[in-house]
Chain A
Amino acid sequence: MKVLYPFVAVVALVLIAFIGASLPGGQYLFGVVFPILAFAIFLVGFINRIMNWGKSPVPFRIPTTCGQANSLPWIKQNKFDCPSTGFGVIVRMFLEIVLFRSLFRNTKAEMLDGPKIVYGATKWLWLFSLLFHYCFFVIVVRHLRFFTDPIPGFVQALEFGDGLLQVGTPVLYQSDVVFVIAILFLFLRRILLRQVNYISLPADYFPLFLILGIAITGILMRYFIRVDVVVIKELTAGLASFSPKVGDINPLFYAHLFLVSTLLVYFPFSKLMHLGGIFLSPTRNLANNSRMVRHENPWNNPNIKPHSYASYEDEFREFMAGADLPLDKPLEPAPEEKEEKAE
C-alpha cells in the first residue's frame, strides 16, 4: 500500500494529462493555466513556509558540536565541524549543503555474535544523494533554455559539459542517465533496507515516482519520440513572458508538464522543503560560542527565579550554625519561639 498508492497516483496523473490535453481547451489548461498556477503556488508556498519557520525564534544556541571546540590557544580547534565564528558557520553550512558533509559520516552498524557490534563506513547514500541532487540541479538549469532568448552562456556551457561524451544524436546528457540511476537507487534502497523500508511513508515514495515520471517523460521526448522543440519553446518562452502560444504538441509533453506542475504544488507542503529547512537548522547554523557571546532568548521569563538563598538559610539556619557554616542572618535563638515550636 505504501508503495502502490503513490505509484498509482503518479500513473493517474499521467493519464489525466494525456486525456485532458486531448480535450478541447485542454491544451491551454495543461499547458498554460496549470503551470502558471502551480508556479505561483510553489513560490507563495515556499516563501510562506520559510517565513513561518522564521517567525519562531531560536531561544537557545544549540549547535551540535562535531569536533574540538574553540578552547585554549594551544588546542587545535576543528573550525568547520565546530565553528565558533560566523565565517566558520558559513563554511560548515557550505560543506553541509554543497557536499552533504553529515551524510558522508554515515556508518552501518551490525550486531554479531558475542555480542559484538561493528560499524562499517557506508558512503552509498551520500554518493547517490549527491548525484541525484546535482543531476536535478543541472537538469533544471539546462531547462532554462526553454525560457530564455537568447540562451544565457552558462546554460550553453553546462549543456556542452553535460554532453561531453558526445554519444548519439541528439547528444546524450550524462546527467539524464545518472539521474535515473540515482532515483532507482534511492527507490530500491527504500524497498530493500529493512530499516528504511519500515520508516517509509507513502509521502516518501510519491515524490520519487513523481520525479521518476518527470525524468522518463522528458527522456522519451528528447531521445525517443523526438517532439517538436520549436513549438514547445514557443509555449514555454511565452509562459515566461506571460504571453503563451499553444501550438500542436505531443501529449507526452503535457504529461511531463503536468507532473512538473504537480511537483511544484506538492513541494511547499511536503518534506521536499528540506531544501529550505536545511538553512534554518539550529544545530548546524549557529556558532558554538554561547559561553563567549551572549545569546538572547526573546521569550526568556524573568519571573522564574531560583529558590532564594535567604529562604534556604531560613530553613536550615540552625543546622548551618551547628556545622560552623557562615550565615547571612545570625542565629538568634528566641526562647519564646522555641517554646512555641515545642508545643
Chain B
Amino acid sequence: MADTKVEQMSVNVVKEPSLMTGAVPTKDWMDVPAVFKPGNYCYPGKPSIMEYHNNHTLPGLFGEAREFAYEDEDWKLPENWKEIIINGIKERLDKFRSFKVYMDICVRCGACADKCHFFLGTGDPKNMPVLRAELLRSIYRNEFTKAGKMLGRLAGARELTIDVIKEWFMYFYQCTECRRCSVFCPYGIDTAEITMMGRELLHLLGINTNWIMEPAANSNRTGNHMGLQPHTFKQNAEFLLDDIEEVTGVRINSLNFNRKGAEVLFIIPSADVFAEPGIFTFMGYVVLFDHIGLDYTISTYSSEGGNFGLFTSNELMKKLNGKMYAEAKRLGVKWILGGECGHMWRVIHQYMDTMNGPTDNLEIPKSPLTGTVFDNAATTKMVHISEFTADLVHHNKLKIDKSRNDHRTVTFHDSCNPARAMGLLEEPRTVINAVCNNFYDMPENTIRESTFCCGSGTGLNTGEIMDIRMRGALPRANAVKYVKEKHGVNTLACVCAIDRATLTSMNEYWNPEVEVAGISELVGNALIMDGEKERESGLRFEPLAGTEG
C-alpha cells in the first residue's frame, strides 16, 4: 500500500512547495538531476525475464539482460550507449512523422502544463507534458538541429549524458500515455508519442521495468499476462460459473474454449478471470452471452486482450497482438468481440489492422440478434463489448430489471484510450443507463475527451510506486469525490481491466466506500435469466436494495 498515509498526502499535495502550489524552483530544469529513492521508480526487468525476451520475443531490442538496481550509480550500460541512443533517435525520426514534427513545433505556450494528472498531483515541473517532451527534445536539438548545434543551451539544447538517460527513465515512466495533453495542445502535440519513443530508446539500453516485461513475456508464452496456463485459465473461468449459479440459480453451460467453428471469438483482458473486481465483469459477459444465445468461444492461446507491447515498443505490440487474428483464423470464426479494456482497445482500434491485417478470413461483424452491421469495424472485424451491448439494448433484445442495480449509484470513468484514441463515449453510457436507475456523470472537465487517467496506466500499476500513483490518481479521485458528495455515488463504473485494479486502489486511498465495477457486471446484475431464482444479491454477493437485513 501507499507509503504515505492519506491524511499526510492530503496536506502534502496542497502545502508542499511545488510548481503546482505556487512555489518556483530556483534552478533551471536542466540543472536538476533525477534522484532515485525507494518509492519513486519501478524495478528493472529480472534477468531471466529479459533473457526470455532476448531469446524468444524480439532479439536485439531489449539490450543486455543483467542484474542492476536503479538506485545504483552504475546501470551497467553498454560501452557505446551514446551511439545506440543517437542512432535510435535518428531511426525513429525517419520512421515516425509524429515524432519528427513534435520535436520541432512546440512553442512552449504552456497550455498543456496543468493538464497532466501527474503534474497536478506531484507539482514536479518535469511532469508538465511540455517539459517531459523537452527532456528528449533538448537532446534532439543538440544532435540534429543547426540552431541547437550552434547556440547550445540558448536554443534549448543540452548534451546527452548518463544523467539524461536516468532522467528519461524517471519521467517516461511517470507518463501514462493518456493523451490528455494532446487534447489541449494547439498543434495536437501528443506527449504520449514522445514517451513511447523515449521508452523504446531506453529499451535499447536494457532499461525497463519488470512490471511490464514479465507480463509481456507471459503473454507471449502462455497467452496472457497472468501466466495462466491453458488448463488454469479454463478452470478459473469455469469456477466463476459456480458463483453465478449461487447468485442466480442458473447453471450456465454455454461457456466454452478453443472451439472451432464458433461465430464469434471473444477476447478479454485476462485479469477478468483472475482477480476482483474483474471476475464480476467476466460473470457479466457470460450471463449476457447466455441470455442472448451467442455462438461464441474464448481462446486460451489468445487469452489476453491487453497488450503491454504498447507500453514497450511497436515491435512487441505487433508481436503480441498478432495472436488475435491468428487465432480467429485457426478457429474459423466470423468476427471478434473484445471485452472491457482500455489500452487493449487503443491497440485494436488504432494499430491492429495496420500491424497485423488485413484479414482475409473474417467477415464484417454483424450482430446475430439485431442484424446490425458494424460498419465502423469493417476492416478490423472487431467490435467492442459496449458497442455490441448498446446495440442490444437499443433494439430491446435484453430482459432487464434495472432495480437490481438500485443499490448502486453510479458514475462512469472514461478510460483514457477508449475516450481519446477511439471516441467511445456514448456507448458505455447508453448501457449504464439501460441497466441502472441512478447514474451521474462527473464534472465536465474530468470526463469524455477531458477524462483523467487512473494514474497507473501504461504498466505503472505496481506497488513499488504507490505514492506517485496516488498523486497521479488525485484528479480522478477528486472528481469521484465530488459526485460522491453531491449525489451519493457509491460505484465507479469503467470499461478497463487496469482501471478495475487501479481505481480500486485509488478509492481505497482517496474515496473509501466507492466500489469499482465493470459495466458488464452491472449488465449481468440486471439481466433476467431464464429459470432464475429470486435474486437477493448482485454478482459479487452484495445485497440488493431492499434486501439488506
When chains A and B are docked, how far (Å) is the Cα of A180 from the Cα of B300?
66
Which A residues are CB-close (under 8 A) to B422? 65, 69, 288
Contact (Cβ within 8 A) B427 A71:
yes
Residues of chain A contacted by B260 (CB below 8 angstroms) = 326
Q: Are B394 and A197 in contact (CB under 8 A)?
A: no
Task: Say which residue of B94, B110, B348, B355 sits within 8 Å of A300 (CB atoms).
Answer: B355
B541 within 8 A of A: no
Contact between chains at A269 and B320 (CB < 8 Å)? no
**Are the C-beta atoms of B113 and A195 separated by less than 8 Å?**
yes
Given known A-B contacts A198-B24, A290-B380, A117 and B475 have beta carbons under 8 A apart: yes
Partner of B190, one of A64, A66, A78: A64
A 304-316 to B, binary, CB cutoff 8 A, 1 in contact else 0:
1111110011011
Taken residue by residue from 440 to 465, chain B's Cβ proximity to chain A (1 for < 8 Å, 0 otherwise) reads as 00010110111000000000000000
Q: Does B20 contact A (CB under 8 A)?
A: yes
Q: Which single member of B21, B330, B419 contacts A65 (CB below 8 Å)?
A: B419
Whether B108 and A273, one on each chain, are in contact in the complex, defined by CB atoms closer than 8 angstroms, is no
- B239 at the A/B interface (Cβ < 8 Å)? no
Report yes or no: A69 in contact with B423, Cβ–Cβ below 8 A: yes
Report the nearest A residue to B345, measured CB to CB: A291
B97 surroundings in chain A (CB, below 8 A):
53-54, 56-58, 280, 282
Contact mask A292-311 → B, CB, 8 Å, 1/0? 11111101110011111100
Per the bound structure, the CA–CA distance linking A301 and B355 in Å amounts to 8
Q: Mark B201-243, 1 if CB is under 8 A from A, else 0.
A: 0000000000000000000111100000111001100000000
Asked whether any CB of chain A lies closer than 8 Å to the CB of B372, the reply is: yes
Asked if A82 lies at the interface with its beta carbon under 8 angstroms from chain B, I say yes
Alpha-carbon gap, A294 to B182, bound state (A): 24
Cα distance, A282 to B257, chains bound together (Å): 40
A278 interface hit (Cβ, 8 Å): yes
Question: Are B147 and A270 interface neighbours, CB within 8 A?
Answer: yes
Report yes or no: B387 in contact with A291, Cβ–Cβ below 8 A. no
A154 within 8 A of B: no
Instruction: Compute how far the CA of A115 lies from the CA of B421 in the bound complex, rounded to whole angstroms.
Output: 30
In angstroms, Cα B111 to Cα A102, docked, is 9
Other-chain contact of B391, A72, A117, A323 (Cβ < 8 Å): A72
The answer to the question of A256 belonging to the interface, with a C-beta cut-off of 8 Å to chain B, is: no
Contact with B along A45-73 (1 / 0, CB 8 A): 00001001111111111101111111110
Q: How many residues of B contact A (CB 8 A)?
A: 125
In the complex where A64-B190, A291-B348 touch, is A273 in contact with B234 (Cβ < 8 A)? no
CB distance from B374 to the nearest CB of A (A): 8
Is B128 within 8 A of A195, CB to CB?
Answer: yes
- Assembly CA distance A299 to B377 (angstroms): 24
Say whether B98 contacts A283, CB under 8 Å: yes
Q: Which of B110, B322, B323, B377 has a CB less than 8 Å from the CB of A193?
A: B110
- Chain A's nearest CB lies how many Å from the CB of B307? 11
A200 located at the interface, meaning its Cβ lies under 8 Å from any Cβ of chain B in the complex? yes
**B187 pairs with A115, CB closer than 8 A:** no
| Chain A positions within 8 Å of B348 at CB level | 291
Query: Given contacts A115-B14, A304-B315, A326-B259, are A66 and B354 in contact (CB under 8 A)?
Result: no
Q: Which residues of A contact B544 (CB under 8 A)?
A: none
A277 near B104 with CB under 8 A, answer yes
Instruction: Give the contact stretch, choosing among A12-20, A106-114, A231-239, A244-252.
Output: A106-114
Given contact pairs A100-B186, A284-B187, A292 touches B323 in the complex (Cβ within 8 A): no
CA distance A323 to B99 in the complex (A): 48
Chain A binding site: helix, strand, loop or mixed by DSSP? loop
Cβ contact within 8 Å between B19 and A198: yes
A60 to chain B: closest CB distance in Å? 6
A280 nearest CB neighbor, chain B only: B101
Q: Are B24 and A66 in contact (CB under 8 A)?
A: no
Q: In whole angstroms, how far apart are the Cα atoms of A70 and B426 in the complex? A: 11
> Which of A170-207 touch B at CB < 8 Å?
193-204
Please determine whether A66 and B420 come into contact, CB atoms closer than 8 angstroms. Answer: yes
Among B220, B321, B326, B376, the most chain A Cβ lie within 10 Å of the Cβ of: B376
Residue among A66, A197, A306 making CB contact with B183, cutoff 8 Å: A66
**CB pair B105 A273 closer than 8 Å:** yes
Q: Are B427 and A72 in contact (CB under 8 A)?
A: yes
Q: Nearest Cβ distance between residue B365 and chain A, in whole angstroms?
A: 10
Within 8 A of A (CB), among B309-334: 314-315, 318-323, 326-327, 330
Asked whether A198 and B427 contact (CB < 8 A) given A62-B193, A283-B182, A294-B354, the answer is no
B379 interface residue per 8 A CB criterion: yes
> Is B106's CB under 8 angstroms from A271's CB?
yes
Chain A residues with CB under 8 Å of B394's CB are: 72, 74
Indicate if A261 sits at the interface (CB-CB under 8 A). no
Residues from chain A with Cβ under 8 Å of B96 in the complex: 56-59
Asked if B183 and A129 make an inter-chain contact with CB atoms under 8 angstroms apart, the answer reads no
Q: Contact check: which of B187, B188, B257, B377 meets A291 at CB < 8 Å? A: B377
Contact indicator A72/B390 (Cβ below 8 Å): yes
Q: Chain A residues with Cβ under 8 A from B189's Cβ?
A: 281, 283
- A75 near B: Cβ within 8 Å? yes
Residue of B nearest to A276 (CB): B105
- A298: nearest chain-B partner, CB-CB: B95
Q: Is the CB of A326 within 8 A of B258?
A: yes
Name the contact of A116 in the complex, choosing from B113, B301, B446, B478 (C-beta under 8 A). Answer: B478
Chain A residues with CB below 8 A from B29, complex form: 198-199
Report if A139 contacts B (CB, 8 A): no
Residues of B contacting A74 with CB < 8 Å?
394
Given A297-B355, A326-B259, decide whether A274 and B193 contact each other with a Cβ distance below 8 A: no
Q: Do the beta carbons of A115 and B474 come within 8 Å of each other?
A: yes
Asked if A307 and B220 make an inter-chain contact with CB atoms under 8 angstroms apart, the answer reads yes
Task: Kindly state whether residue B120 has any CB partner on chain A within 8 Å.
Answer: yes
Contact check: which of A71, A96, A115, A326 meets B426 at CB < 8 Å? A71
Given contact pairs A109-B114, A281-B188, A300 touches B354 in the complex (Cβ within 8 A) = yes
A-B contacts, 18 listed (Cβ < 8 Å): A65-B419, A65-B449, A71-B424, A82-B423, A109-B120, A117-B120, A196-B109, A201-B154, A277-B104, A277-B105, A289-B376, A290-B350, A291-B379, A297-B354, A299-B95, A307-B56, A326-B258, A328-B330
* Extra contacts besides A289-B376, A305-B322 (7): CB < 8 Å: A59-B95, A106-B111, A109-B475, A115-B474, A281-B98, A291-B377, A295-B354
Residues of B within 8 A of A (CB): 10, 13-14, 19-22, 24-25, 29, 56-58, 93-102, 104-111, 113-115, 120, 123, 125, 128, 130-131, 134, 145-147, 151, 154-156, 179, 182-190, 193, 220-223, 229-231, 234-235, 257-260, 300-301, 314-315, 318-323, 326-327, 330, 348-351, 353-355, 357-358, 372, 375-380, 382, 387, 390-391, 394, 419-427, 430, 443, 445-446, 448-450, 474-475, 478
Give the 10 A-B CB pairs with smallest separation, nearest first: A69-B423, A306-B322, A277-B105, A323-B231, A65-B423, A283-B188, A196-B110, A284-B188, A291-B380, A274-B105
